[in-house]
């Protein structure tokens, strides 16, 4: 493992040491107590869920709510391995062309109907049309209902990674009643099979969930595990409230008005260290902080220029400031120590170099003549605009004329979809690195990669990756992908960033995850 | 024969005498102003502000945009008098440069508002048939609450210093034009104006030499008010993120950045806030003083 991955900032170590201790103390005390039924839990997140139609959106805010309401056939367990949730299991034919899913019997929808194969078929066909990542079903030729509890997915070709991508929570392929088959995106009856049901949505204010009394627990497991497992709803009501200002969120938590903060600012966590009322948990591997360059527009269409940006940056300074110390330096494109970890291949010569002289030489080679570099960022996600400000200063130091274009998050998403008019864009990638190499590479391949202009080499490597028969083969391909990313310089890895979440101390059982699970938590 | 020629015939000595008298009057006026306590205090505050803003590069101890991970969120100390922000930037230096941005915007707004206010106000009162059109148009603009209109304009034009200037100028011009119009309406009925018409003076000459020169005092008071409000309004716009984009410091965006860490690092928001409060107080004191001195009726009432 490379040397800079191990380096964690002193500030962070200082702050987090005690947080980890707190968390540990919290976890043991939780197990010893008896669970209490009833009451209301209030979770705070910072913006509206764009849609409560789970399959139609890949927004994190939507996931926060929806993953408590809807369930998928397969989903990830705590260790990011696919596990059956609504499925009893799957039988994959030896040629890889037939996936036979058997369904759990007697699972009830919120409307009282029992889930059958026809509901699954309707959901999958709707997912093809309105699913935010509908293309993950491109590998499937057709769905065949065998009986009420058996359905076969006929594949077009062998796709070894299908089950993993099918289990993705990014825009989850949830099972909804057959009656919602024809509903346009966002126009469903909001009925799912989860432990909570949606009873009220007031935009800019809150979503109210109520316990689903007839919830069919998955008794194969002993407790919740990742997105599945045996889920128990203790609270009668769960409210997801929108509070935009981080300062106001913390104040509401301190006042006891709300119970769980989806994002806890590190500076507030440090201040509240040792507080009897508030507990903080750290999710270390939350996201990749990245800086995307538009390979299609003016300046940044020149690979020498992009290389200059890469070598000019001091990642420790950028990510350290942006995350208030909650980061790990890592130039690799998967989390350290995971299966596909390619070490510092490619990164060794380029990551965290802060080589001003080399950057200036490269700029000269690129024929740079003080043209403006338009840096797109948003003011909705603090990590993004802080990253942009620090990057801008570092690029100015090597002589690049940076102009920051700071807009709100929806506008930024809109602007970056334009082929020109921006040179750099700051993005924290949360769910893709969680899902692994295929999900990351998918955003960098295809007809519209993040850096706009497709790179034929990456395109080929992506195909090689998804067709890889064995883990070993895929690992080898991924190492080549990482190398290529440090040749093309369309996207710059800044570091791995963490997330803090906070709860009132009397909330028991809460464990930080990709979304706040409101089941299997209770008030002491 | 033109008016110029007639005056020239009266000889140079009279002209020189008139000029001397004018100078004497000006000196007396300035002395009276400076003796006025609230004007003097206000002017002193403004002077400090302007000097600091103009000489920012010489006064600021650090580069206002220099990030440093090592110095993140340092409380006020001898090294950093106002502390540092979450980027490790020196707040004092940022406030000093922020004052510069505020001053630049406020001066530009005052100049533009003055120019357009005078043009529109004079047109409306001097050219009678234009009055209804111009004033109804301005009434329309005035129907929006001032800062709200500025926010809407700034949001539409995109965040930048120029946007803030345009937005605030559009917002404040109607009020200024109204003040000018009222002053001009009063003065243009005066007999000496009629006399100027009678001797065949050109419209431009009548407007500048006889009318505006005598209708300026309320305008000056109005413009000090516009200056003060511009500083606050610029801070509001920057606070809301429609002012000059980051990393450029402005009093408003420093406060906005400090808002999220107000409980952990109060110094980020408090110092620029204090600066705004003091400067606006100074401007108001100065405006009050000016009104007292310039406006004879007010003086008599006291």
Residue A21 reports pLDDT greater than 50: no
Q: Please report the pLDDT score of residue B2 as a whole number.
A: 46
pLDDT exceeding 70 applies to what percent of chain B?
A: 93
Give the residue-averaged pLDDT of A143-163.
93
**Do residue B260 and residue A317 have CB atoms under 8 angstroms apart?**
no
Strand partners, A376: A405, A425
Give the distance, in angstroms, between the CA of residue B144 and the centroid of all CA atoms in the same chain.
21
- Mean pLDDT in chain A? 90
Distance CA A77, CA A441 (A): 22
Quick one: fold of A35-277+505-523?
D-Maltodextrin-Binding Protein; domain 2 (3.40.190)
Closest CA to B107 of B57, B53, B26, B147: B53
Under 8 Å between Cβ of A261 and A501? yes
Give every CB contact of residue B190 below 8 A, 6+ residues apart in sequence: B214
Strand partners, A278: A504
- A497-506, B111-120, B187-196: least confident range: B187-196
- SS3 for A396? helix
The b-or-e profile of B262-288 (16+ CB within 10 A means b, else e) is: bebbebbbbbbbebbeebbebbbbbbb
- A5-19, A442-456, B99-113, B184-198: least confident range: A5-19
Q: Please report the pLDDT score of residue B174 as a whole number.
A: 93
Segment 118-177 of chain A within 8 Å of chain B by CB: none
**Do residue B87 and residue A321 have CB atoms under 8 angstroms apart?**
yes
**Do residue B261 and residue A390 have CB atoms under 8 angstroms apart?**
no
Distance CA A392, CA A403 (A): 8
- Beta-carbon neighbour count of residue A176 at 10 Å? 27
- SS3 for B190? coil
Distance CA A281, CA A510 (A): 9
Architecture of domain A284-499: Roll (3.10)
Under 8 Å between Cβ of A351 and A4? yes
Q: Please report the pLDDT score of residue A134 as a whole number.
A: 84
Does the ipTM surpass 0.95?
no
Give B66's contacts in chain A (Cβ within 8 Å). Answer: 393
pLDDT tens per residue across span A396-424: 999 999 999 988 887 888 899 899 999 99
> What is the pTM assigned to this prediction?
0.80
DSSP string, A243-267: ---HHHHHHHHHTTS-SEESS--HH
Q: Please report the pLDDT score of residue B255 as a whole number.
A: 92
- Beta-carbon neighbour count of residue B33 at 10 Å? 17
Best residue in B263, B266, B268 for a mutation probing chain A (most A CBs within 10 Å): B263
What superfamily does domain B36-301 belong to in CATH?
MetI-like (1.10.3720.10)
Strand partners, A209: A198, A238
Residue A26 reports pLDDT greater than 60: no
Give the residue-averaged pLDDT of A264-280.
92
- Measured between CA atoms, how close is A156 to chain B, in angstroms? 49
CA distances from residue B223 to A1, B37, B142, B286, B296 in whole angstroms, order as listed? 66, 20, 17, 11, 18
Give A494's contacts in chain B (Cβ within 8 Å). Answer: none
Distance CA A340, CA A472 (A): 9
Q: Where are the domains of chain A?
A: 35-277+505-523, 284-499
**Do residue B87 and residue A250 have CB atoms under 8 angstroms apart?**
no
Give B261's contacts in chain A (Cβ within 8 Å). Answer: 247, 265, 267-268
Q: Please report the pLDDT score of residue B296 as a whole number.
A: 62
Segment 273-312 of chain A within 8 Å of chain B by CB: none
Distance CA A500, CA A494 (A): 19
Q: Tally the residues of chain B.
A: 302
Query: Could you say which of B66, B72, B260 has the minimum Cβ distance to residue A265?
Result: B260
Q: Is B128 exposed, middle or buried (0-12, 13-18, 19+ CB in 10 A)?
A: exposed
pLDDT exceeding 90 applies to what percent of chain A?
A: 74
**Do residue A268 and residue B259 have CB atoms under 8 angstroms apart?**
no
Distance CA B272, CA B253 (A): 9
Query: Could you say which of B65, B86, B259 has the minimum Cβ distance to residue A324?
Result: B86
Q: In angstroms, how far is the first alpha carbon of chain A from the final one?
A: 43
What is the 3-class SS of A307-374, one letter each residue? HHHHHHCCHHHHHHHHHCCCEECCCCCCCCCCCCCCCCCCHHHCCCCCCHHHHHHHHHHCCCCCCEEE
Query: Could you say which of B159, B246, B260 has the minimum Cβ distance to residue A389?
Result: B246
Give B69's contacts in chain A (Cβ within 8 Å). Answer: 9, 316-317, 320-321
Under 8 Å between Cβ of B243 and B250? yes
**Do residue A390 and residue B67 have CB atoms under 8 angstroms apart?**
yes
Q: Please report the pLDDT score of residue A326 as a whole number.
A: 92
pLDDT tens per residue across span A46-59: 888 889 999 998 88
DSSP string, A52-105: S-GGG---HHHHHHHTTT--BSEEE-TTS-EEESSEEEEEE-TTS-EEEEEEPT
Distance CA A142, CA A490 (A): 37
CA distances from residue A363 to A304, A484, B11 in whole angstroms, order as listed? 7, 21, 70
- Measured between CA atoms, how close is B66 to chain A, in angstroms? 7
Sign of the alpha-carbon torsion through B69, B75, B77, B81: positive
Q: Is B50 exposed, middle or buried (0-12, 13-18, 19+ CB in 10 A)?
A: middle
Segment 226-245 of chain A within 8 Å of chain B by CB: 245
**Do residue B69 and residue A320 have CB atoms under 8 angstroms apart?**
yes
Q: At B9, is the pLDDT very low, low, confident or very high (cuts 50, 70, 90)?
A: low
Q: At B298, is the pLDDT very low, low, confident or very high (cuts 50, 70, 90)?
A: low
Closest CA to A400 of A271, A496, A293, A323: A293
**Do residue A246 and residue B262 have CB atoms under 8 angstroms apart?**
no
Residue B90 per-residue DSSP state: B
Distance CA B59, CA B97 (A): 10
Distance CA A294, CA A298 (A): 9
Closest CA to A328 of A125, A205, A499: A499
Distance CA A432, CA B59 (A): 48
Residue A468 reports pLDDT greater than 70: yes
pLDDT tens per residue across span A343-399: 889 999 999 999 999 999 999 999 999 999 999 998 878 899 899 999 999 999 999
Give the distance, in angstroms, between the CA of residue A192 and the centroid of all CA atoms in the same chain.
22
User: What dihedral angle (degrees, nearest 10) is formed by the CA atoms of A29, A31, A34, A35?
Assistant: 110
Q: Is A38 exposed, middle or buried (0-12, 13-18, 19+ CB in 10 A)?
A: exposed
Q: At B36, is the pLDDT very low, low, confident or very high (cuts 50, 70, 90)?
A: confident
Q: Please report the pLDDT score of residue B267 as a whole number.
A: 95
Distance CA A312, CA A7 (A): 20
Give B263's contacts in chain A (Cβ within 8 Å). Answer: 247, 250-251, 268, 271
Closest CA to A121 of A168, A194, A173, A84: A173
pLDDT tens per residue across span B260-287: 888 889 999 999 999 999 998 998 898 8
Closest CA to A359 of A392, A403, A399, A317: A399
């Amino acid at each position: 493992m490379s040397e800079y991955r191990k380096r964690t900032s002193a500030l962070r170590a200082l702050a987090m040491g005690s947080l980890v201790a707190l968390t540990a103390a919290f976890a043991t005390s939780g197990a010893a107590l008896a669970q209490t039924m009833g009451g209301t839990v209030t979770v705070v997140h910072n913006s509206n869920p764009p849609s409560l139609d789970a399959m139609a959106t890949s927004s994190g805010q939507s996931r926060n709510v929806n993953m408590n309401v809807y369930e998928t056939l397969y989903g990830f367990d705590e260790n990011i391995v696919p596990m059956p949730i609504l499925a009893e299991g799957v039988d994959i034919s030896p040629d890889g062309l037939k996936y036979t899913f058997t369904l759990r019997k007697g699972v009830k929808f919120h409307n009282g109907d029992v889930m059958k194969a026809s509901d699954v078929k309707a959901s999958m066909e709707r997912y093809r049309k309105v699913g935010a990542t509908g293309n993950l079903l491109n590998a499937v030729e057709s769905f065949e209902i065998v009986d009420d509890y058996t359905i076969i997915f006929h594949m077009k070709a062998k796709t070894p990674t299908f089950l993993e991508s099918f289990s993705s929570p990014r825009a989850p392929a949830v099972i909804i009643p057959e009656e919602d088959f024809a509903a346009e995106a966002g126009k469903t009856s909001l009925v799912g099979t989860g432990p909570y049901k949606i009873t009220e949505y007031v935009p800019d204010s809150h979503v109210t969930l109520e316990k689903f009394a007839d919830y069919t627990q998955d008794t194969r497991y002993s407790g919740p595990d990742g997105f599945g497992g045996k889920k128990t709803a203790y609270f009668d009501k769960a409210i997801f409230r929108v509070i935009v200002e981080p300062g106001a969120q913390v104040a509401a938590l301190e006042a006891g008005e709300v119970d769980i903060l989806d994002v806890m600012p590190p500076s507030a966590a440090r201040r509240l260290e040792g507080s009897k009322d508030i507990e903080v948990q750290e999710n270390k591997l939350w996201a990749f902080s990245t800086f995307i360059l538009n390979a299609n527009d003016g300046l940044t269409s020149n690979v020498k220029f992009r290389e200059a940006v890469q070598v000019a940056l001091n990642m420790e300074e950028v990510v350290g400031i942006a995350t208030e110390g909650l980061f790990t330096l890592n130039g690799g494109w998967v989390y350290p120590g995971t299966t596909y970890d390619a070490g510092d291949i490619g990164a060794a010569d380029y990551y965290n170099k802060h080589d001003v002289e080399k950057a200036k030489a490269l700029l000269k080679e690129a024929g740079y003549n003080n043209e403006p570099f338009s840096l797109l960022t948003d003011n909705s996600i603090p990590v993004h605009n802080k990253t942009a400000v620090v990057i801008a200063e570092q690029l100015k130091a090597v002589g690049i004329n940076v102009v920051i274009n700071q807009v709100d998050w929806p506008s930024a998403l809109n602007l970056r979809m334009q082929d020109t008019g921006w040179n750099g864009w700051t993005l924290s990638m949360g769910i893709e690195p969680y899902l692994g190499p295929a999900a990351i590479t998918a955003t960098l391949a295809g007809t519209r990669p993040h850096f706009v202009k497709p790179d034929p080499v990456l395109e080929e490597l992506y195909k090689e990756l998804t067709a890889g028969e064995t883990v070993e083969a895929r690992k080898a391909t991924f190492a080549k992908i990482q190398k290529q990313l440090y040749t093309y310089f369309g996207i710059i890895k800044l570091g791995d960033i963490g997330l803090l979440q906070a709860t009132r101390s009397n909330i028991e059982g809460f464990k930080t995850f990709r979304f706040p699970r409101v089941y299997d938590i209770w008030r002491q | 024969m033109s008016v110029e020629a007639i005056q020239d015939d009266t000889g140079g000595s009279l002209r020189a005498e008139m000029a001397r008298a004018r100078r004497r009057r000006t000196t007396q006026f300035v002395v009276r102003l400076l003796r006025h306590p609230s004007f003097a205090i206000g002017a002193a505050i403004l002077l400090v502000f302007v000097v600091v803003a103009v000489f920012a590069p010489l006064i600021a101890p650090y580069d206002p945009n220099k990030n440093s991970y090592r110095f993140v969120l340092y409380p006020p100390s001898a090294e950093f008098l106002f502390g540092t922000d979450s980027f490790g930037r020196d707040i004092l230096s940022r406030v000093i440069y922020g004052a510069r941005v505020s001053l630049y915007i406020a001066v530009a707004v005052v100049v533009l508002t003055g120019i357009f206010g005078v043009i529109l106000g004079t047109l409306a009162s001097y050219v009678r048939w234009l009055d209804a059109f111009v004033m109804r148009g301005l009434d329309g603009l005035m129907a929006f609450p001032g800062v709200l209109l500025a926010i809407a304009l700034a949001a539409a034009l995109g965040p930048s210093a120029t946007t803030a200037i345009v937005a605030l100028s559009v917002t404040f011009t109607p009020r200024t034009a109204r003040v000018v119009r009222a002053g001009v309406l009063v003065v243009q009925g005066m007999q000496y104006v009629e006399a100027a018409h009678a001797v065949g003076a050109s419209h431009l000459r009548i407007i500048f030499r006889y009318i505006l020169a005598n209708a300026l005092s309320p305008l000056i008071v109005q413009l000090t008010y516009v200056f003060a409000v511009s500083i606050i309004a610029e801070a509001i716009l920057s606070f809301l993120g429609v002012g000059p984009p980051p990393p450029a410091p402005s009093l408003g965006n420093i406060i906005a950045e400090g808002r999220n860490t107000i409980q952990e690092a109060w110094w980020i928001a408090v110092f620029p806030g204090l600066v705004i409060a003091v400067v606006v107080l100074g401007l108001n004191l100065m405006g009050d003083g000016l009104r007292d001195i310039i406006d004879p009726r007010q003086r008599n009432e006291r």
